[in-house]
Structure formats: structure tokens, C-alpha cells
Amino acid sequence: MDAKIELENLKSTWATVEAKLDRNWKLNLKVIREGNLEKVRDKMKNLLRVKVITFTFYLIGGLCFAGFGIQHAAQWYMALTGGVFTLWAVLVCFTSVKEIELIMKLDYTAPVIELQRQLVTLRTTIIRYFRVGVWVFPLYMGWVIMAFQVFFGVDIIAVADQTWLYSQLGFTIVFMFPLALWMHSKLIPENADKKWMQRLLQGNGSQVAGAQAFLGEIREFEEEEQ
């Protein structure tokens, strides 16, 4: 009889200990989840600020480019330069708005796996839209035209040696355009985890990788509980 009572007491004690361990585990999970989700929010707030600044910068830039094209409409190459750069700035603004929209729609109350999926979508979008930027390389002559006109009041196309102009055109076709095309082909989601991509996105998308790491810690803790 005493042995039976002792066994029952042991079972009761073990059940109590197990219940306490379970409560402690759930409490730890709650603390980790809340703490890491707060870190995820901070990462996304930082990224949101970057995207808002980017949008504002290119909006102002687009207005300046448009003004340049209108002001110098008498010279077709200056009007074309202003128009092309205005279009480029508008595209960057559009991509920034779409990225801001995705950041604002992140649901921090959703299950971790769903929030991870949303972050993957955001990262994929950032990488794909980043390709817009590489097409500025074939347009480098436009920067030369605008810089000489704005800072020195010189129409570089009108005064430059024709041989030099043709050499710049050849340089653009032979080197700059293929460079942009090659970079465009490399900026794909499949390369997201490569070191060069992470360095390229540093400060302008790397926050997503940091947020995913914090969510990964929560996911591991939840899987251990199961």
C-alpha cells in the first residue's frame, strides 16, 4: 500500500514538474516571439525609411530632369536626355511605391511561416526592381550632357570633337549596354543568398535577410515545442 501511495505521489510530482516546464517553455516561446517580432518591425521600419527617402529623391530628380528637357527643348538631344531620365526616375518611383506597399502590408500577427512567405515576396520584388537601376549605365552620356550644361553652361554635343562623340557612342554600345544586360541577368531572386548580392543590397534590402533570421529563430523554437 505504501509503495502504491509513493508511486502516486511520484506521478503527481512529475505531472506538476512537467506542467511547470510546459508553462516555462510557452513563456519562453512568447518572450522570444515578441522580442524577435519587435526586431523584425525595427528592420522593416528602417527599410521603409530607405524606400520613402528613395521615392522622394527620385521624385525631385524626375522633376529636375523634366525641367531640364523642357528648358532645353530647342536641342533635341537635350530634350531627349531630359525625357529619358525623367522616365527612368518615374520607374524608380513606381518601384519604390510598390515596395512601400508590400512593407506596409506585412502582417505581424500572422503565423511565422506566413510572415516568412511575405518577406520572401518582398525580397524578390526588391531584387527584381533593383534591375531598373542598372540601365542607367548605358545612359551615362546623358549625365555628361546635363553636367556640362548645368554646371558650366556648355553644350558639349555642339563643341565636342566628332571623333570623341563617336568613340563615346561606340563605348556605350560595346561596353555599357552589355554590362547593363549582364547585370540585369544576374539580379534575380535565385541569387538572393549569394554574398555579392547581399553586399549589393546592403542597407537597401538587406533588412529583409535580418528579419528572416529573427523569424527563423522563432520557427526553430516552435518546432522544438512540437
Question: Roughly what angle, to the nearest 10 degrees, separates helices 206-225 and 2-71?
Answer: 160
Task: List pLDDT tens digits, range 124-174.
Answer: 999 999 999 899 999 999 999 999 999 999 999 999 999 999 999 999 999
Per-residue pLDDT at 16 exceeds 70? no
Owner of C-alpha cell 546592403: 202
pLDDT of res. 216: 81
- Is pLDDT larger for residue 12 or for residue 207? 207
pLDDT for res 90: 96
User: Considering the entire predicted model, what is its pTM?
Assistant: 0.83
Domain extent listing, the chain: 36-225
Of 5 and 112, more confident: 112
Question: Is the pLDDT higher at 16 or at 17?
Answer: 16
* CA atoms within 13 A of residue 138's CA, in its CB half-sphere: 17
On whether the CB atoms of residues 189 and 182 are closer than 8 A, the answer is no
Query: Which residues have C-beta within 8 Å of that of residue 77, sequence separation ≥ 6?
Result: 145, 157
pLDDT at 17 over 60: no
Query: What is the C-alpha to C-alpha distance for residues 83 and 78, in angstroms, rounded to an integer?
Result: 8
Asked if residues 165 and 157 have their Cβ atoms less than 8 Å apart, the reply is: yes
